[in-house]
Chains A and B, each alone.
Chain A
């Protein structure tokens, strides 16, 4: 039987092999918690933790420096909640019957947790990566976050 860890690792490796991710690495290999790190949409590397026992993928500290219950915190939760709305094209729509998304704000760092069942491990990995893309190219791109990106992600002003 193929382990969840192998399925998720294989899916993420595909992105690395295609050149989408740079500096892709895996740590704690062999334990129930794997950590993946890679560079992609920002200078700061992304960190993705897989908990094989709980069948959870956590996008760790995706958005730093966001106060709990701030407008941005609320807007972010609303945005993730809207990913399963009918207004989202069906091929990008999140199936909330198969995947449960939670947001965690700890020490002003927003993380996203994707819960899935064993048979959906590969899909969960893909969804997690696409969620990251939606966060950076939809939520942050279309919202009033220019100053946030400059101040927190050190994006150039121009």
Chain B
């Protein structure tokens, strides 16, 4: 639970944690079970927290909680309450303290940019030859993807993404730089919009001569970690709408050409990894992660399924470094990056339950794809933490296809003997070729075991049909080799690159 709250905190998720406690009347007696002072346990992992003590102030503190969740930059809110609170009953609003109608407890108003700042931003954008927007968490939360598209197209500004979710600027757009890594290096002006989790110098691969504009609703955060040339305090949508009005129309053909070349180079490298992966798979009677990634890509985006349909929970440690390369976001909320910033191991299947429920019920940007199966990716270490969630998936018929990359080890296993810790090596290893899909079967789901490239697509086909037709989830256990992370199989474990499709923590 704490790890998941930590993950939500890093991702700036407006998560409401409501947790019960023992009674005040028995405080300090250890009568019964589960005495704990909770608020300190979530220190540093939340935006706001309160231990509710006075029953007739429940309404007031609920209002506090939702003001924190629904305004500014969100993060988890933790309310804990003792037994006297949960047993309290009220008949009339007059019995509650600090009660007033819920239409009055907070504002929907948001900050708008200073016109002088927008003028400066326009000057900087016009001087730039290769401007790039980094559309981050705030663009998604403010539902600002439409003005983002209009701004990008009006002035030919490239867009990449950095967030716990991808797709608010389509990877299929001619101005997308999410898979154009080399174009990131070329940008001479970077506009960070809604970048709540700020990179430090060097974490984003922009060059040393690039200028920086940061647009954020929180003035106190602008200038943190990364020195900026212009800061604009505003909600993301308001800033983008103001920029759209102020920017002139412009075509930057050489920048478009460079973006296209960068995307092609990325695709060529993905193809190279796939071909290497096929060879390594054949050499080892297993399936290499690049092969998994390519087959998944083809299944989701070039086959019978509409490319923008499938929501993917992109998790895993080592496997994620490959599959991220092959996943695409064509619409808001299409890719959910569970590992964002916190790098928690293990929540991926639980995360898929939440994402699956959102799609199952057609919530928010998932509405057009209501009821569609979702996919998730995790590793064997990750599956070990939350494999019981297959029971939840089965019980609620949440149609999920979970790929578990099984390489018989923790992703950091090369830290063992490979770095001299020979006696510790065993701690990094699992028993070989464990059949995780049998656990899913025992929990009411379907299981597939894939040990070679030619088995992957048929397994995806079967799993998708079951999910689509009957709401039955599948665990696809893909048997890999831990040695793929060593120098014996270059590129071994690919490195992170941010921002864009390969980003892991930012």
Is B310's CB within 8 Å of the partner chain A? no
User: A147 near B486 (CB under 8 angstroms)?
Assistant: yes
Q: Which residues of B contact A151 (CB under 8 A)?
A: 419
Interface magnitude class on chain B: 20 to 34
Is B495's CB within 8 Å of the partner chain A? yes
- Tell me, rounded to whole Å, the shortest Cβ–Cβ distance linking A75 to chain B: 10
Assess A20 versus B181: contact at CB under 8 Å? Given A147-B486, A147-B487.
Answer: no
User: B209 near A126 (CB under 8 angstroms)?
Assistant: yes
Assess A144 versus B491: contact at CB under 8 Å? Given A15-B208, A133-B207, A157-B412.
Answer: yes
Q: Which of A33-52 contact B (CB under 8 A)?
A: 40-42
Is A92's CB within 8 Å of the partner chain B? yes
Interface magnitude class on chain A: 20 to 34
Complex CA gap A65/B414 in Å reads 19
User: B208 near A144 (CB under 8 angstroms)?
Assistant: no
| Chain B 202-213 interface mask (CB, 8 Å, partner A; 1/0) | 100101110000
Complex CA gap A20/B207 in Å reads 10
- Tell me, rounded to whole Å, the shortest Cβ–Cβ distance linking A105 to chain B: 19
Complex CA gap A89/B181 in Å reads 13
Question: Which residues in B have some Cβ–Cβ distance to A below 8 Å?
Answer: 129-130, 181-182, 185-186, 201-202, 205, 207-209, 226-227, 258, 261, 269, 317, 343, 411-412, 414-415, 418-419, 486-487, 490-495, 497
Question: Which residues in A have some Cβ–Cβ distance to B below 8 Å?
Answer: 15, 18-20, 22, 40-42, 89, 91-92, 126, 129-130, 133-134, 136-138, 140-147, 149-151, 157-158
Question: Lowest 10 A-B CB distances belong to which pairs?
Answer: A19-B227, A144-B490, A144-B491, A137-B205, A157-B412, A146-B493, A41-B202, A20-B208, A146-B495, A89-B258
Q: List 27 A-B contacts (CB under 8 A).
A: A15-B208, A20-B201, A20-B208, A20-B227, A40-B202, A89-B186, A89-B261, A91-B129, A91-B130, A129-B208, A130-B209, A133-B207, A136-B202, A138-B182, A141-B181, A141-B205, A141-B497, A142-B181, A142-B497, A145-B495, A146-B492, A147-B487, A147-B492, A150-B419, A158-B317, A158-B343, A158-B412
